[in-house]
């Protein structure tokens, strides 16, 4: 395993921040983890586990070691008449994994098409889109304990999934490195089309009885029409979580803002953060090279030379504005380093 110094990270974070790491190492096997964590010099510096770099914002250079997870591979580990249990290594690109499942007729992940990142980071965030969350088709994962070097199996209950949250963002934060994730996929898929304009897109495609391939196509079309390509415009997708408010609060907001909409959630009603930001007047806003995407106000963008501080300052102003207009607090979804 090669440990590199002063390693540029611009190509490893979708915001395109021009920063570097003091040290950098690619993790291609479990043995790599054992080697590096047994090194006394490694323990003297902070470290950051990096996947696809799609859900983080660097404020500046990272004065520590970046461990870039590059574990690859997929295999069926079990099967019955209804389900296929597919194990994916943590470094598998997420959308390639979704495409693989759809091509094989295994349902469950198609609504999560075109989400950037890698398989290993998907449970940490409990990624979700168009009415589906990762937890809905999660079976288990393998994680390497930094303290003991042992591999632990986590089932769904162990992961404590919640909206854009899990054990790995709370009590377990920084304690484990995910090695693989096993998904429970459907041989007889249940099509989910009721969320986020998906049915309308399918109707425009003249799909009256869509299959999972049609759903994937529709999701990809919607995302490409609304979201910027990070290869062209730096961004991390949705910068803020959709806030969940009590139903009473939602009814009060509906009286003063009739156009507001929400979806039922276990904690109350989930508001559309993008709509709140848009109504507060931020869609398309630009300050230097930090801006808000003109088609989706939930996405903050780097027009080229913005720094992490520039993006954070803009995010703070948006939070203050939404709080003033609606009395609702926005919480960042992006991890800030």
Q: Which residues are catalytic?
A: 164, 238, 333
Q: In what order do the strands lie in the sheet with 299-302?
A: 234-238, 299-302, 290-292, 286-287
Instruction: Find the distance separating the first CA and the last CA of the chain, reported in whole Å.
Output: 25
Q: 103 to each of 40, 118, 133, 145, 222, how far by Cα in Å?
A: 46, 19, 20, 34, 20
DSSP string, 260-325: --EEEETTEEEE-HHHHHHHTT-TT-EETTEEE-SS-TTEEEE-SS--HHHHHHHHHHHHHHHHHH
Beta bridge partners of 194: none
Residue with tokens 């965030």: 125
Positive or negative torsion for Cα 279, 229, 311, 327: positive
Whole-angstrom Cα distance, residue 67 to residue 245? 37
Q: What are phi and psi of 161, to 5 degrees?
A: -65, 140
**Could you give the 3-state DSSP secondary structure of residue 1?**
coil
Whole-angstrom Cα distance, residue 223 to residue 228? 9
Radius of gyration of the chain (CA): 20
In the chain, what's the furthest Cα-to-Cα distance? 61
């Amino acid at each position: 395993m090669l440990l590199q110094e002063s390693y540029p990270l611009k190509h490893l974070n979708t915001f395109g921040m021009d920063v570097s790491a003091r040290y950098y190492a690619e993790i291609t096997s479990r043995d790599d983890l054992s080697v590096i964590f047994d090194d006394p010099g490694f323990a003297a510096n902070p470290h950051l586990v990096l996947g696809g770099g799609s859900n983080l914002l660097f404020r500046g250079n990272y004065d520590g070691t970046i461990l870039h997870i590059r574990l690859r591979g997929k295999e069926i580990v079990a099967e019955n008449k209804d389900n296929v249990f597919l194990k994916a290594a943590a470094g598998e690109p997420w959308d390639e994994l979704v495409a693989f499942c759809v091509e094989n007729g295994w349902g469950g992940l198609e609504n999560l098409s075109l989400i950037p990142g890698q398989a290993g980071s998907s449970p940490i965030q409990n990624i979700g889109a168009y009415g589906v969350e990762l937890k809905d088709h999660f079976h288990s994962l393998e994680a390497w304990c930094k303290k003991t070097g042992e591999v632990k199996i986590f089932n769904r209950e162990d992961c404590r999934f919640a909206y854009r949250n899990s054990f790995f963002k709370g009590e377990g934060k920084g304690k484990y490195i995910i090695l693989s994730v096993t998904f429970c996929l459907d041989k007889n898929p249940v099509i989910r089309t009721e969320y986020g304009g998906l049915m309308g897109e399918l109707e425009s495609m003249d799909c009256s009885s869509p299959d999972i391939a049609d759903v994937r196509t529709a999701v990809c079309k919607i995302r490409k029409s609304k979201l910027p390509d990070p290869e062209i415009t730096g961004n991390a997708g949705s910068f803020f979580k959709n806030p969940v408010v009590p139903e009473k609060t939602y009814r009060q907001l509906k009286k003063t803002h009739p156009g507001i909409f929400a979806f039922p959630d276990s904690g109350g009603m989930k508001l559309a953060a993008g709509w709140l930001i848009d109504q507060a007047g931020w869609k398309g806003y630009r300050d230097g090279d930090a801006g808000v995407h003109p088609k989706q106000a939930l996405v903050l963008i780097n027009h080229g030379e913005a720094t992490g501080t520039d993006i954070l300052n803009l995010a703070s102003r948006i939070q203050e504005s939404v709080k003033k207009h609606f009395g609702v607090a926005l919480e960042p979804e992006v991890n800030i380093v």
